[in-house]
Amino acid sequence: MNTRVDDDLIYLRAAGVSVLLDVSERRLPRIAHWGADLGDLAAAQARAVVESGRGGYAFGGLDESHEASVIPEPAWGWFGTPGLEGSRAGRHHSPRFEVRALSRDARGEGDASVQELTVAAVDDAAELGLEIRLQLLGSGLLRTRASLTSLGGDAPYELDALRLLLPVPAQAREVLDFTGRWIRERTPQRTPLTVGTRLRESRRGKPGHDAPFVMALGEPGFGFARGEVWVAHVAWSGDVRMMAERSREGATVVGGGDLVRAGEVRLEAGDTYVSPWVYGAYSAAGLDAAAARFHRHLRARAGHPHRPRPVTVNTWEAVYFDHDHDRLLALAEAAARVGAERFVLDDGWFRHRRADNAGLGDWHVDEDVYPEGLGFLANRVRELGMEFGLWVEPEMINPDSDLARAHPEWIAQPGDGRLPLTARHQQVLDLTHPEAFAYLEERLHALVAELRPAYLKWDHNRDLLEAGSSVHGRPIGRAQTLAFYRLLDGLRAAFPGLEIESCSGGGARVDLEVLERTDRVWASDCNDPLERQSIQRWTQLLVPPEMIGAHIGPPRAHTTHRTSTLTFRAATAMFGHLGIEWDVTSPEAVEARDELAAWVALHRKLRGLLHTGSVVNSDVDDPACAVHGVVAADLRSAVFSVASLALSETSTVGLVRLGGLDPDVVYRVAPLAPEGAGEGPGRALPRWWVGGASLTGRVLAERGIQVPALSPEDAVLLHVVAEGTPRDR
């Protein structure tokens, strides 16, 4: 409910979260409380909440203390990192905004509801206008963004940074964020939150394989199901700056914005800069509950992919650049036989693309390889009952391409007559150049109109380095990202129903803003199930399973050369948007075809649960074991995975807890595997394994159940089904 409890306070509540905003003294909004639901508050009670949280006089400090707004201002005594940094030729570097107007709005229902406060403020001396939008969504997510407008001035306002920062209480003394690399995205790292700044930046023109992804602040030792947690995420697909900061005075904030390069944002009179959304998720009980808020938000959107996610076969690891009519047709037929529903032609179909050093930018079907065009393959795929998909990498260009030879001025460059260093034999196509953008737009629309793909795998392999405009030389990272959004928006508008995957050398462009325009992310180029166990677990902190591409690769992983069983590969991929990245015509695949088809059939049977339920991760003390699952929305069924990631120091991992179930319902727990799927665990089977076990949800969550002793790099699935109704309510 969106309530103005008096002239100075706004109180918002949704899904167990309360946000109390102080808008007194015509100052920018200050968040007096963001966290657990405080219940109904009368005006006097709300005022008491605000007053009881205010700091006292600090010896040696300012004569009067003031709480920081969501864009902290040094003009109100903030000694930490300012929310706004910039100047007009060095002047007006410390604005003090005065609120001129407030408006409130409430719309929608359930998880799709929005309660919004919009604040309009001005600094007359600096000739700056500021609008702040703050929303509490039906999922309990808090999000905010700002717009800064130059209202005049004798010089442009040069923006250096605009950050939106959310307050968290003192008990949040530990930070979880992420780093990573190609084929090992979203590697967690924890640090104590001490006095000072925990700053994470991405300067790759995209979030990057080493992106912070989210920043979670919580009680020391917080886990998936324990501890209060406040999670922040910057929804932006370009350069990102995130920070958590604890001041000497004791205030703690978390948030960020996009990273603006020097000279990148110059606001002439009338120009407006709009920041990314900064999201915040509060949980009273660990990371899973915070993740559930992101998942509920994404699933409540009108454009969320609600139809069953098609099982996808991708050709990359089957043929690489060696495209051949007969081989591709055989692949398509074999894919259909194992139950695939989508066939994606990866890199290598366009002009001059016989290796990765040429052709990017020449977005025409290669006549030498496909003299009759690609229509024959697309049509055959559809005849086999599958959708046709296509790989593209529109934002990149090979110097060895017809496009680069015809238009070298379209290559992004630092502006001094030289080109940046190459990466993967690639440069960046300057999408801010109007003619380059028009070329790409025409080519993409023409290809989709001609071939009618249901799906585009949109890749972005090269980091942006020294990416400047070929016209004026200034940095283009922000404008490049906005142009990328325009390309996606234009395709979606022109071709309703077209699905797009955000791939960026794997999982280097995963954020909530790109997910407003795409239908899934490619979590990693690594299909090794051992690495994927961690990559998928942490990607699900933000993204629901149905939007995470997870493929069954060959027995020997292309990226790590590690070998694994089909059971381990399939059980790992089961929990995402399932696909196959394996030459299904190879002898080893033909031998395993029936078993592979059985895993595909099992996934298709269970995906209604796997792609709509709540993700549950168990806090397991043994790092050699990972336990996770999905519980149906009605709590009547669930599927869990128990994976052995390494050789445990003990013979068995002990009792495994299965959370998220109704504590008062009796459930039947039984092993789950398709018929003919390997031999399964063959030793140290618990007594209940053959006939199943009947236990309450409370017993499963609090005590747990014994599982077989697994070999390293193996997994078992458990099917949990309610046997009755709650006993005592």
Residue 147 has phi, psi (to 5 degrees) of: -125, 130
Tens-digit pLDDT profile for residues 510-529: 999 999 999 999 999 999 99
Q: Does position 1 have pLDDT exceeding 60, yes or no?
A: no
Nearest-angstrom CA–CA distance, 475 and 494: 30
Question: Which residues lie below 8 Å from residue 306, measured CB to CB, with a gap of 6+?
Answer: none
What average pLDDT score do residues 204-226 get? 97
Query: Which residue's entry shows tokens 């006993």?
Result: 727
Per the annotation, the verdict on 459 as an active-site residue is: yes
The pLDDT assigned to 135 comes to: 98
The pLDDT assigned to 64 comes to: 83
Structure tokens at 39: 């219940």
Nearest-angstrom CA–CA distance, 50 and 44: 10
What average pLDDT score do residues 620-642 get? 96
Nearest-angstrom CA–CA distance, 18 and 293: 14
516 vs 109, 277, 364, 628, CA distance in Å?
20, 12, 28, 27
328 vs 345, 640, 719, CA distance in Å?
9, 36, 37
What average pLDDT score do residues 84-113 get? 97
The pLDDT assigned to 57 comes to: 62
Nearest-angstrom CA–CA distance, 371 and 329: 15
All structural domains of the chain: 63-300 (2.70.98.60), 312-603 (3.20.20.70), 615-722 (2.60.40.1180)
Q: What is the mean pLDDT of the chain?
A: 95
Q: Does position 186 have pLDDT exceeding 60, yes or no?
A: yes
Residue 324's CB is within 10 A of a number of other CB atoms, namely 11
> Could you write out the three-class secondary structure of 292-335?
HHHHHHHHHCCCCCCCCCCCEEECHHHHCCCCCHHHHHHHHHHH
54: confidence class by pLDDT, cuts 50, 70, 90: confident
Query: Quick check: pTM over 0.85?
Result: yes
Percent of the chain with pLDDT strictly greater than 90: 91
Nearest-angstrom CA–CA distance, 156 and 88: 6
Q: Which of 288, 346, 366, 459 is catalytic?
A: 459
Q: Does position 728 have pLDDT exceeding 50, yes or no?
A: no
The pLDDT assigned to 4 comes to: 57
349: confidence class by pLDDT, cuts 50, 70, 90: very high
Question: Which residues lie below 8 Å from residue 35, measured CB to CB, with a gap of 6+?
Answer: 17, 18, 169, 228, 230, 282
Tens-digit pLDDT profile for residues 488-512: 999 999 999 999 999 999 999 999 9
Partners of 197 in the beta sheet? Answer: 245
Closest CA to 332 of 393, 392, 376: 376
Q: Which amino acid is at 229?
A: V
DSSP secondary structure letters along 488-504: HHHHHHHSTT-EEEE-B
56: confidence class by pLDDT, cuts 50, 70, 90: low
Instruction: Indicate the DSSP class of residue 563.
Output: B
Tens-digit pLDDT profile for residues 651-700: 788 899 999 999 999 999 999 999 877 666 766 799 999 999 999 999 99
Nearest-angstrom CA–CA distance, 222 and 224: 7
Residue 84 has phi, psi (to 5 degrees) of: -125, 130
DSSP secondary structure letters along 387-445: EEEEEE-TTEE-SSSHHHHH-GGGB---SSS-PPPPBTTBEEB-TTSHHHHHHHHHHHH
Angle between helices 477-494 and 434-451 (to 10 degrees): 30
Q: Which of 239, 346, 463, 525 is catalytic?
A: 525
The pLDDT assigned to 484 comes to: 98
Partners of 164 in the beta sheet? Answer: 256
What average pLDDT score do residues 346-356 get? 97
Positive or negative, the CA dihedral 211, 252, 515, 160 is negative
Residue 103's CB is within 10 A of a number of other CB atoms, namely 10
The pLDDT assigned to 705 comes to: 97
Tens-digit pLDDT profile for residues 6-46: 779 999 999 999 999 999 999 999 999 999 999 999 999 99
Tens-digit pLDDT profile for residues 575-617: 999 999 999 999 999 999 999 999 999 999 999 999 999 999 9
The pLDDT assigned to 58 comes to: 67
Per the annotation, the verdict on 525 as an active-site residue is: yes
The pLDDT assigned to 3 comes to: 58
What average pLDDT score do residues 360-382 get? 96
Q: Does position 211 have pLDDT exceeding 90, yes or no?
A: yes
Nearest-angstrom CA–CA distance, 134 and 559: 43
What average pLDDT score do residues 124-144 get? 98
Please tell me whether residue 117 adopts helix, strand or coil conformation: strand
Angle between helices 325-337 and 593-610 (to 10 degrees): 60
Tens-digit pLDDT profile for residues 527-584: 999 999 999 999 999 999 999 999 999 999 999 999 999 999 999 999 999 999 999 9
Partners of 580 in the beta sheet? Answer: 313, 552
Tens-digit pLDDT profile for residues 307-338: 999 999 999 999 999 999 899 999 999 999 99
27 vs 128, 245, 315, 726, CA distance in Å?
15, 22, 57, 51
